[in-house]
Every structure is written in structure tokens, then in C-alpha cells.
Structure 1
């Protein structure tokens, strides 16, 4: 029976081969294998493209994030500039005030130096005049008066003027011979002080 089964199988096989069934089955299987192979290659190509697409999408996302960040930074800079505009104006005003103050100080120092120079020159002139007076042969009282005039000692100059006025009054009184009038002149002179 096994031989009969084997023989039956062989005859069926020959019939299938002769009818083209086996050939179609083989072609169909081959076609399925080719389709499967093409799908596998397409999946492989897609998988190869996936990292590129992931990288490209990541790069696009990063570029968009950077552009958004740049916009935020520009807005922040504009806000900061707006915030500091009044401070810049105040700083400019303070700088102007400082410069004006420095100019005033420098002008005052220049004036002080000029005044000091003129005073020094006047002192040297006084000293030279005093030396000339000392060297000249004039009356000692006149030399004293001139020295006091040149040196500018106001208190001693006033005292000297008062003593000269008193001497003049006394001389006039002596010349007139009236002692009472001298007292009146002295008291009037004292009142004028």
C-alpha cells in the first residue's frame, strides 16, 4: 500500500507539472519571496533614512528654538534699552554737571593763581620800594610813614594818622593860644572815631 501511495503521489505530481499548477505555485512562491525581499529592502532603506530624518527634524527644531530665543533676546534688549534710557539721560546730566563743576574749579584755581601771582608781584614791588626808601636819605618819620603806606599796615597807619592829626591840632592850638579850643577839637576828633 505504501508503494501504491507513492505511485499515486508521483502521478499527481506529474499531472500538476503537466497542467502547470506546480509552475504557477513556484512562480507565486518566487513572486512572494521577491515581494518580501523588496519590502525588507524598503524597510531597511526607511530605517536608514530614519536617523537622517530624525537628525533633520532635530536640526529644524533646534533652529526654530534658536530663532525663538533670538527674538526673545531682541525683545529683552529693547526692553532693557527702554528701561535704561532715563538712567542714561540722568548719567549724561550728572556728567555735564561734573564737567561744569570741574571747569568752575579750574577757573577758580586759575583766578586764585593769578591773584596769588599779582599779590606776590605787589609784595616784591613793596619790598623793592622799601629797600629804595631805606637807601634814600629822607627824614626817618617820612620813611616810617612811607614804609607803613607801602606795607599796607592799616591799623598802624590809622594810629599814625590820628597822632599826626593830634599834633596838627596841638600846633594850631599853641599858635592860637587858646587851650579851651584844643580840648573841643580833641573831643570832636574822638567823636569822629
Structure 2
């Protein structure tokens, strides 16, 4: 799965004359490498990928990514992005970035041997294509959320505390196959009276 995505990205990189792409967005890093924690990834136009993580996340990262992806712990600078920027500084390359803090962009831009281009559109071209198995995962995720919202509604009709509802909703999502919750559910019953068929936001 991830190797296929990297291969597709590499093809687009070659078409757009990019030597490397620097991924700093966690969703993008996870999409192309399988690792969902803190870290950044460098993808080359031959499809090779290097994941930079802090030492504390090394074991998790190594178990999350395909063998093709190299995992590099940041030993001295506890900042994966800073380490990658330092490594790239003097290279004569054209690099695409999905997003980059201003100070890091300035550091890269200071290198006269490097050309920096936005790569968000390129990445979206790949992420917007959904294979059959991806569509099935989306259907499963939608069903899981609907189930959790049904439970939340039923609990709101009773006398459950917000913290209890939040815990139950999170547990239901995990039970239905989620491996992480992107945002903590916010449960604020307030003083409203809810009826079946109401829209909860």
C-alpha cells in the first residue's frame, strides 16, 4: 500500500522535476509511510523515503513503516525537521514541501544551491485518488462515527456526565477499528432538550 503510494508520488516528482519532497504534515507523513506519530519524511524521486523521528519514537516508527522506508533517529538535535534542513542545506536540488514554518523556509532558502517549490497540489493529486479498499475504509469509518453519535445521543437523553459520554464515544470508535482519535470528542450537553432526529454538531 505505502510502497505503491510512494511509487505514484515518485512518478509525479519526476514529471515535475523534483528531486525530493519534504513532508512535515502528520497526515501526509502517515499517508505515505504508515507512521502516525511525531516526525517528518523525505521522499526522493526514485521512491526511496527516509523518516526522521526523535529517539523516543524510534521503535514505534520502525514497526509502523514498510522495510523500504529508512528510519533515522535524531540523536543530537531533538527536532526532526531541523535535522533534515541541516542535511539538505548545501545540496544542489529542487525540493518540494507540503508545509514549512517560516523560519525553516528561511534556512532552506538561504542555500543558493537549492530551489524550493510548493508540493501540496502534487500530494493532493495522489491523496484524492481512492482505490476500492480505501473507499471501503471510508465506509467503515463513517459507520463507526454514526454508531458513536447514536450512542452519544442516547446518553444525552439520560443523565450521563459529559466526561462519561466522551469516554464511551472514544471507546466505541476504537472498538470499531480506529487506531487513533484525531481529535478529542467535545461533549457539551448544555441546557438543550434533544429529540430523535435532531442534528448534533
**TM-score, length-normalised on structure 2?**
0.18
Which structure has the larger Rg? 1
Q: Which has the higher helix share?
A: 1
If asked which structure has higher relative contact order (CA below 8 Å, sep 6+), I would say: 2
Q: Which has the higher strand share?
A: 2
